[in-house]
């Protein structure tokens, strides 16, 4: 069966089309991605502006057209923190679902963490032991831990790379004052918010998903000749000062750093380092499967019932 997974995230509107069958590995057919950065269209009242809504609708229209072109039988559509946090998020969802005749649903932070955890478990298998999974998105940080396919404990924190960049890092290059304020905020948020069943995780295997972690691992390879399938805390600690001193243009010229990610990578790196230090993680394995794959896998599980 050909499925379309439409991910309305904080950074992008991303359609991934896969051929999927119960008991088989989902096989990518095509994808389409628009860099939208919805968090940048929030006004002072916490609402997504009319311009942001118009661009979102245009992106969804194009994604649906692309899905139809590739004969997609069903579209699984979901939105994450940008819509979830917006005060007019429900109105936007109702308007989009009516206009495009789709069923765009908002995922809770727990849903995000659980779906991503499922994808990581299926990718790595049971032999990987007790997993602790980290995912830094545009709007939020998700953490999940557990032995099975469903995480025992999850948490979602408003520590996404796009959100923090918008709120703390205005200058280019960033100033020392901005960096210090961001580091203090992230440290306090993680220290105060992590529940005991996550802070005392007793995990065997530490895993990261998302473009932020993949980019940081690529930089570890570039500067320190690390294996890009892993992110080491020692390398991360050394790369952060390098990234802080650069302009957005200079960061965008680094391998694996897109123009849109160049502004966010410093905030993402600070979140990654802080959470790794807090959870005593020396190295993370980068998993290629994440939330979208988890959505497909869960849907296939439901179809088998």
What domains lie within the chain, and their CATH numbers?
2-106 (3.30.420.40), 125-286 (3.30.420.150)
Average pLDDT over residues 10-28: 92
Distance CA 102, CA 71 (A): 16
CA distances from 247 to 64, 126, 177, 181, 250 (A): 37, 43, 16, 19, 5
Provide the pLDDT for residue 136.
97
Provide the pLDDT for residue 23.
82
**pLDDT band, residue 63 (cuts 50/70/90):** very high
Please check whether residue 13 is in contact with residue 84, taking contact to mean a CB–CB distance below 8 angstroms.
no
Please check whether residue 213 is in contact with residue 286, taking contact to mean a CB–CB distance below 8 angstroms.
yes
Cα–Cα nearest to 240, from 199, 186, 291, 286:
186
pLDDT tens readout for residues 262-296? 999 999 999 999 999 999 999 999 999 999 999 99
Average pLDDT over residues 70-92: 96
Work out the percent of the chain whose per-residue pLDDT is above 70. 100
Report whether pLDDT(305) > 80.
no
pLDDT tens readout for residues 178-193? 999 999 999 999 999 9
Please check whether residue 236 is in contact with residue 273, taking contact to mean a CB–CB distance below 8 angstroms.
yes
Distance CA 136, CA 145 (A): 15
DSSP string, 60-123: HHHHHHHHHHTT-SEEEEEE-HHHHH-TTHHHHHHHHHHHHT---EEPPHHHHHHHHHHHHHHH
pLDDT tens readout for residues 123-169? 999 999 999 999 999 999 999 999 999 999 999 999 999 999 999 99
pTM of the model: 0.95
Please check whether residue 97 is in contact with residue 50, taking contact to mean a CB–CB distance below 8 angstroms.
no
């Amino acid at each position: 069966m050909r499925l379309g997974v439409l991910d309305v995230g904080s950074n992008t509107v991303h359609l991934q089309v896969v051929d999927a069958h119960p008991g088989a590995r989902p096989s990518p057919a095509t994808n389409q991605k628009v860099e939208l950065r919805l968090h940048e269209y929030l006004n002072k009242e916490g609402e997504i502006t009319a311009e942001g809504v118009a661009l979102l609708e245009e992106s969804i229209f194009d994604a649906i057209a692309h899905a139809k072109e590739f004969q997609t039988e069903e579209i699984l559509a979901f939105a994450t923190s940008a819509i979830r946090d917006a005060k007019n998020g429900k109105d936007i969802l109702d308007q989009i679902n009516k206009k495009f005749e789709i069923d765009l649903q908002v995922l809770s932070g727990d849903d995000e963490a659980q779906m991503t955890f499922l994808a990581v478990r299926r990718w790595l298998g049971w032999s990987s032991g007790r997993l602790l999974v980290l995912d830094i998105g545009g709007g939020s940080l998700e953490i999940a831990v557990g032995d099975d396919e469903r995480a025992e404990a999850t948490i979602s924190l408003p520590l996404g790379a796009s959100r923090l960049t918008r709120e703390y890092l205005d200058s280019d290059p960033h100033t020392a004052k901005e960096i210090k304020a961001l580091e203090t905020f992230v440290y306090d948020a993680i220290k105060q918010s992590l529940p005991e069943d996550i802070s005392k995780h007793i995990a065997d295997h530490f895993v990261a998903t998302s473009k932020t972690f993949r980019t940081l691992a690529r930089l570890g390879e570039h500067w320190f000749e690390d294996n890009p399938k892993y992110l080491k805390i020692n390398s991360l600690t050394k790369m952060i000062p390098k990234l802080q001193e650069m302009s957005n243009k200079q960061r965008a010229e680094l391998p694996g750093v897109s123009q849109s990610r160049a502004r966010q990578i410093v905030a993402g790196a600070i979140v990654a380092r802080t959470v790794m230090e807090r959870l005593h993680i020396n190295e993370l394995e980068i998993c290629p499967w994440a939330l979208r794959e988890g959505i497909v896998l869960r849907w296939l599980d439901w179809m088998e019932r």
